[in-house]
Structure 1
Amino acid sequence: MLRLVSLQLMVTVAAGLIAALLGGWAAMLSAVFGGLCCVLPNAVFALRLFANTKKPGGADPISFFIWEFIKIALTVALIAATFSLYRDLNVFAMIGGFIVALKSYIFLIFRH
C-alpha cells in the first residue's frame, strides 16, 4: 500500500511539472492540488488499514468500510476546499492531476 501511495505522489509531481510546462504556475499548482486530493485520503486509509492489521484480531470488514467512507468524504472535502480556497484554479489541470493520481496504480499492475 505504501508503494501505491508513493507512486501516486511521484505521478502527481510529474503531472504538476507537465502542467507547468503547458499552462504555467497556476496550472502546476492546480494539478498538484488535484493529485493531493487523491493521495492524502489514500495515505490516511492505508495507514489506518495497516494499523488495523496489527491488532490481535486483524482488520475486520466493518473498519475497512468505515475508513473507505472516510476516505471518500475526505476526498470530496479536499476537492471542495481546493475549489473554494484557490482563486487561480485551473479546473482542467486539477481534474487531470486527480485522474492521473487516481489511475497511477495501472503502472504497478503492468510492472510485472
Structure 2
Amino acid sequence: MATQRNVPTGRWHDEEEAGREAEASSFKALTREEAQALRAKEPPLSPWRVVGLQAVVGVVAALLALLLTGQQVVAWSLLMGAATVVVPGALMARGMTSRFTSMSPGTSAVSFMLWEFVKIAVSVGMLMLAPKLVQPLSWPALLVGLVLCIKVYWVALLWRGRRVSR
C-alpha cells in the first residue's frame, strides 16, 4: 500500500519554492583562481592573533590599574579576569587548529562544540578558583579584566575589516 505525502499547496508553498529557486540560481561555485583571489583579498583571522591581543590588553590594563590605583590587589584581580578569557581561548585555539578538526565538516562541527564546552568549563572553573588564587580579590577589577579581554574579539574583527578594505 503506497502512502501519500501531504504536499502543501497555495500561496505559502509557492513563495517558499520561489525563494529556494532564486537561491539555487544565484549560487555560483568559485573556481580555484577565484577562491585564491578571495582568500588573498580577505585573509582569515588567526585565533592565535586574537588570543595574543587579549593577553596584551590584559597585561596593559593590569599595569594601568597598578599605576592609577597603586594597589597590587587591583592589578592581580584584573590580570586574573584577563587570564579567565585568555587561557580558555588558547585551549580552544589549540584544539580548533589541530589536524583532527579539519578532517571533515562533521568532525569540525563536533570538535567546535567540544572545544567550546571545554572553554566554558575552564572559564567557570577559573572564576570559582579566583578567590583562592588572588587574595584579597577585587571582583570589580576581575570583571573589568574579563570584559576588556572579551571585547578584544570585536576590536580584532574591526581591525581585520579595516585592514582588508585598504
Candidates 54, 58, 73, aligned match of 1:8: 54
Q: 1:105 and 2:153 equivalent?
A: yes
AA in 1 matched with 2:85: C
Q: How many positions carry a matched residue from both structures?
A: 112
Q: 1:77 and 2:125 equivalent?
A: yes
Q: 1:29 and 2:80 equivalent?
A: no
Q: 1:60 and 2:111 equivalent?
A: no
AA in 1 matched with 2:158: F
Structure 1 runs, 4 residues or longer, greater than 6 Å off: none
Call closer, same or farther: CA 1:87–1:104 in 2, change over 3 Å. same
AA in 1 matched with 2:90: A
CA–CA distance in structure 1, aligned partners of residues 72 and 132 of structure 2: 18
Could you tell me which residue of structure 1 aligns to residue 97 of structure 2? 50
Structure 2, unmatched stretches of 5+, are 1-46
* Structure 1 residue 94: Cα displacement: 0.6
Cα deviation 1:67-88 (Å, max 9, x = unaligned): 1011001000001101233221
Instruction: Give the TM-score, by structure 1 length.
Output: 0.90
Call closer, same or farther: CA 1:110–1:17 in 2, change over 3 Å. same
Call closer, same or farther: CA 1:39–1:85 in 2, change over 3 Å. same
* Structure 1 residue 57: Cα displacement: 3.2
Instruction: State the superposition RMSD in angstroms.
Output: 1.6
* Structure 1 residue 54: Cα displacement: 6.1
Identical amino acids, percent of aligned pairs = 29
Instruction: Give the TM-score, by structure 2 length.
Output: 0.62
* Structure 1 residue 52: Cα displacement: 4.3
Cα deviation 1:3-27 (Å, max 9, x = unaligned): 1000000000111012112331110
CA–CA distance in structure 2, aligned partners of residues 84 and 104 of structure 1: 27
CA–CA distance in structure 2, aligned partners of residues 48 and 8 of structure 1: 18
